[in-house]
Every structure is written in C-alpha cells, then in structure tokens.
Structure 1
C-alpha cells in the first residue's frame, strides 16, 4: 500500500466519527446511531482534520502515476472544502437543496431499517435530532453575527419545507417513518419519542429561520461573483471562464429558441409561436 493510500485510509477513519451522516452516505458501518456535531466546534474539528491532511499530502512524493492522480484528486476536493469553510460558506449557506438541516433529514432515507439493530439506530438518531439542530443554530447565529447570512427567500422557503415535514396532513416525515418501522415494546416507545422530538425540533427550526435568521438575510438571491466562482469550482470539479461559459450558454439558448420557433412554424404555420404549437399538439387527439 502506498503512502497516499495509507493517508486516505487514515483520513476516512478520522473523518467518519466527525461526520456520522457522511459515513452513512458513503456506506461506512458503525455510525448509524449518531449525528454530526453541527455546532461551530464540530465544523472546526472537521476543518482541522482537512487542513492537517492537506499538509501531509503536500509533502508526499508520489511513487506511481496512480498515486499522483489520487494525490491531486484529494488535494482538489479537500482544498476546496477547506476554502469553502474558510470563506464561511459551509457554516452559513442555507438553501432548499443543501444545508446542515437537509443532511440530517435526508440521512434517514438512506439508513437500513430491517432488524432490531437498524430500528434502534433510527431511534437513537431521532432522539439526537434536536441536539444536532441546536448546534446548527449556534453556527448560523455566529455566521450571521459577522454578516454571513443566506438570502431571505431561501431561508423562508426552507422554513416552508420544515412546515411540510412536520404537517400531519403533509409529509409528517418523522412520524410516518416510525409508523413504517412498525415496532412495539420499548423500542417502539423510543421510536415514537424520537419522532415526536424530531418533529418538534424541526418545527422550531423553521420558526427560527423565519423569525430570527430571515430578517437578517440578503434581499437578493444573487451570491456575487467571488462566491459563485468558488461554488462553481466545487460543483464542477474544475475552474471555468465564467464570462465565456455564460456567453456560450446564452448563444445556445438563442439557437434552441430559434429552432423551436422554426418547428412551431412547421406544426401550425408561418409566424406561429411556441405556445401556439404546444396548444395545437395538446388539442391533437
């Protein structure tokens, strides 16, 4: 085993206890009864592990081409993760797709549920949900205190997601999860207690977003060029020329719309709009 492999294995072994939900996402067993520490200290601990690992990576001389590729891949991913932490992105960004809340909520979709041990893990996580959200609120408050807050629109929309997850006539997610597990006795009682606690915590978190954080949020949803450059690089795994990419994108959009208008003319007749073509196709038996 090469030094890069050894370092990667040590990193994962140290990372999994710091990110139990991440461990579940990637299939590492043994952490399904725990949740991440989303407090400022929890984020700092994960960032310190990343920083330390990058320092070790930088002084390793790869012995093979495979090691070189693995080293560069780790440096790229971990480096961007650390850059996002240092820029305050990881500890402040809340949107309808991604946030600490979503990581906690979605991990229940990936957990094993067959057998008593699996159900006990679900119960344990449900009963830890409120504490995890309390830590996350501290993190978001610290970020807000230095001016890093998501847009008002996104914060309010996530609050609405919280409303849906706890609505008995909506998703009713946590209670629905427990009902599907169909457990009786002490384990069933723990599951029901956890569902009630997680439901209450999620409802309270939605209230926190709506009444405390949203008033501090940005009026515009636009993030700004510097933040977008970092986010796009993390998402794409590569740096792109944003001006060139957007110019190409708008040119492609214009080309596609012109093609659509041409096809609409063939369907309905000269001068027809795209909406005219859609109505004609919908009306055609």
Structure 2
C-alpha cells in the first residue's frame, strides 16, 4: 500500500527551509546528511558566524511560532523543530560556542572527521576534498577567534579538554597522521 504524497504545508516549508539554512551555515552537517553541494567549504566558526547561526534560528523560530498546524504531521514537526531551535538559542545565550572544545564532539573533531564522509572515488571528488582542505586555515582561524572571545569573557573549556584536543590535533597533523595518510590515498 502506498501513501498519497503530502501537499506541503507552511510548517513543512519552514522545516525544509531550516534544513537548507543549516546546510548552508554548517557544511559539515550538510555532508553528514548527504547534501554535498557545500562539500568544498566549512562553517564560519568566527563570532560573526556564530551570531549568524543564532540569528537564523531566531528567524526560523519566529516563523514557526505563527504558523498554523493543519494536521498531526504539522503538530509533530512544529513541536520538534521549535524545541530544536529553542535549544540552539539556549546554547547560544549560555555562550556555549565560546567554549565548545572537547575530545569527542566539537569543531576540532568535526573539522577532521568530515573528510571520512566525503566521496573520494573520482578526480572531481578529490578536487572537492582539496577545496575543503584549502578552506581549513580560515575555518580553524575563525574557531580560534571564537575560543579567544570566550577567554576574554572568562567562558572557557576545561583545561584537560584543551590539553587532550591539542594532542588530537598533533596526531591529526603529524607526518604519519590522518591528513598525511588521507591525502596519500589521492596519489595516482
């Protein structure tokens, strides 16, 4: 039995637009969800990029708050997306991005691990990988700028997390680390 195709509602449109916004603002998330049009770049991890993300979440939440629920699917979508956006804004208001550094799931790991999900079968794939790698210095500089902003405000990650992430980065960038091994795969 097939289900009839759903006619998109205003809430569906807001939700789809939010996915597009997230993909644009955070190309790593786009890669994780199989949207490869942004594979050549990273998010803007700078304070301005962090603020742009919060502004986008506020706009989406405002749009969602006035959208009328038309059915059960809308009710679930509105509830779930509202909670997601509210959490995003709570984290922003708590200055979480200013101290988002840990050994498991922070931009320090995401910037490295996204390469695991990128296609590498063709020359074009490797060209995209190369473009993203070329964007690494700017991404890392923006991230460092945000962490420095946290330092200036006294909003800091735990010292042990900093020490351990420095060790991870040293391993990623060593002569036989992840990046050296990964790009060696591109050699003819």
* Structure-2-length-normalised TM-score: 0.92
Asked if 1 retains the 8 angstrom alpha-carbon contact of 2:108 and 2:165, the reply is no
Asked if 2 retains the 8 angstrom alpha-carbon contact of 1:165 and 1:173, the reply is yes
Instruction: Note the residue ranges of structure 1 that are not aligned, 5 or more in a row.
Output: 184-285
Aligned residue pairs total 181
CA distance in 1 between partners of 2:173 and 2:157 (Å): 23
More helix by share: 1
CA distance in 2 between partners of 1:23 and 1:9 (Å): 13
- 1:40-59 → structure 2 map (5 Å cutoff): 40-59=47-66
Instruction: Note the residue ranges of structure 2 that are not aligned, 5 or more in a row.
Output: 1-7
The match for 1:145 among 152, 162, 165 is 152
The aligned residue for residue 210 of structure 1 is none
Given the alignment of the two structures, is residue 110 of structure 1 paired with residue 117 of structure 2, yes or no? yes
- 1:153-168 → structure 2 map (5 Å cutoff): 153-168=160-175
Asked if 2 retains the 8 angstrom alpha-carbon contact of 1:34 and 1:124, the reply is yes
Give 4+ residue runs of structure 1 displaced > 6 Å after superposition.
Answer: none
CA displacement 1:225-266 (0-9 Å, x = unmatched): xxxxxxxxxxxxxxxxxxxxxxxxxxxxxxxxxxxxxxxxxx
Given the alignment of the two structures, is residue 63 of structure 1 paired with residue 74 of structure 2, yes or no? no
- 1:29-108 → structure 2 map (5 Å cutoff): 29-108=36-115
SS across alignment from 1:160: helix
The aligned residue for residue 21 of structure 2 is 14
Displacement of 1:90 in angstroms is: 2.4
CA distance in 1 between partners of 2:134 and 2:38 (Å): 15
Displacement of 1:14 in angstroms is: 2.5
Task: After superposing the two structures, state which structure 1 stretch, 13-22 or 94-103, moved more.
Answer: 13-22
SS across alignment from 2:88: helix
Asked if 2 retains the 8 angstrom alpha-carbon contact of 1:24 and 1:32, the reply is yes
SS across alignment from 1:29: coil
* Structure-1-length-normalised TM-score: 0.62
Answer 1 or 2: higher relative contact order, Cα 8 Å, separation at least 6. 2
